[in-house]
Amino acid sequence: MRLKNKLAVITAAASGMGRLGVVFFAREGATVAAIDINAEALAELAVEMKAKGSEIITIVADLSTEDGMRGSINEAADKLGGIDILWAHAGIPGPASVENLDMTEYQQAMTLNVTTAVLGAGEVAQHMRKRGGGSLIFTSSISGLVGSMFSPIYSACKFAVVGLGKSLALSFAADGIRVNVICPGLTETPMMEGFVGRGGEILNSAENKNKLLASVPLGRLGQPEEIALTALWLASDEASFVTGVALPVDGGYTCR
Ligand SMILES: NC(=O)c1ccc[n+]([C@@H]2O[C@H](COP(=O)([O-])OP(=O)(O)OC[C@H]3O[C@@H](n4cnc5c(N)ncnc54)[C@H](O)[C@@H]3O)[C@@H](O)[C@H]2O)c1
């Protein structure tokens, strides 16, 4: 098993890629704490995992608050007995334009995309040091590597996450903590709906959908399991010499 005896935490774990991360991490032997604001979806996940033979810890928290982020990481450390792996996966699309900006929506995007990663790293480092090291994984986006015409604020946030990951890879290397960033392309999860309405209902016409798919060299959208399996690899000792990477998982989108 690839994560035997590992203690793992995943945020935004009740849906999409994070949810599959819980399934894959547990299947590979980790004890997993799943953090999310959606209590009902977390409870359903716990039942599904129990049916598969895995007990998971669920923590309901609003990660857009400082207490929610700091508190849930420390609660996870208490309940797990330490932390070896954190996949800090929370994020939201945020406002579509810098014009007529609603500052509350702007702050929410900055908070969930960037501040959660900062606070998560700040809280988890002490726990990983106690365990002799660890693997910290952030979720950025292709929009953290190239500009995004329809989501400039999201892109600014996700570039920040890449910068944070590369910097912390340097800061934490001496403690045996690897820090890596996953940059997914457009991936079929509920969140994708938040993006596809931008730029003219991209997926609502065959012509627009074909245009979108033509921008991906592999000619298709990503699947959440493809991102969760990347997180699994980065979390595992198979990636023991990998740190400071911002890894596109995007069907080749950022090659151009
Ligand atoms: N889906 C894509 O196309 C795509 C592409 C690139 C990057 N991403 C990134 O992936 C991450 C999540 O994406 P997903 O597609 O798995 O999303 P998703 O919509 O499937 O899941 C998001 C989860 O976040 C939780 N959440 C939302 N607000 C929260 C809060 N305040 N506190 C705690 N939990 C909260 C939701 O309850 C949900 O379970 C984000 O960081 C996003 O930027 C997504």
Q: Which atom of ligand 1 is nearest to the CA of 113?
A: 41
Residues spanned by the domain of 44: 7-191+223-245
Residue 217 domain-assigned (yes or no) = no
Residue 205 domain-assigned (yes or no) = no
- Strand pairing partners for 31? 7
CA 33 to chain centre: 14
Nearest CA among 66, 74, 23 for reference residue 44: 23
For 47, 58, 127, 240, the CA distances from 31, given in Å and listed in that order, are: 15, 11, 15, 20
Q: Taking all residues of the chain, what is their mean pLDDT, rounded to a whole number? A: 94
Task: Label residue 205 by pLDDT band (50, 70, 90).
Answer: low
Average pLDDT of the residues in 106-118: 98
Under 8 Å between Cβ of 247 and 166: no
pLDDT tens-digit map of 212-241: 788 899 999 999 999 999 999 999 999 999
What lines the ligand 1 site, CB under 6 Å? 12, 14-18, 36-38, 41, 62-64, 89-91, 112, 139, 141, 184, 186-187, 189-192
How many Å lie between the centroid of ligand 1 and the Cα of residue 91? Answer: 5
pLDDT tens-digit map of 125-166: 999 999 999 999 999 999 999 999 889 999 999 999 999 999
How many Å lie between the centroid of ligand 1 and the Cα of residue 220? Answer: 20
Residue 216 domain-assigned (yes or no) = no
Residue 204 domain-assigned (yes or no) = no
Q: Domain containing 26 — which CATH number?
A: 3.40.50.720
Q: Ligand 1 test: best mutation among 9, 15, 63, 140, most atoms within 8 Å of CB?
A: 15
> Given CA atoms 53, 130, 86, 229 in this order, what sign does their dihedral have?
negative
Average pLDDT of the residues in 181-203: 77
Q: What are φ and ψ of residue 208, in 5° steps? A: -65, -40
Q: What is the pLDDT of residue 91?
A: 97
- The whole model's pTM is what? 0.97
In this model, does residue 200 exceed pLDDT 60? no
Q: What is the pLDDT of residue 149?
A: 87
Number of structural domains (the chain) is: 1
Residue 255 domain-assigned (yes or no) = no
Nearest protein CA to atom 41 of ligand 1, as residue: 91
Under 8 Å between Cβ of 119 and 70: yes
Tokens representing 10? 């995943």
Active-site residue numbers?
154
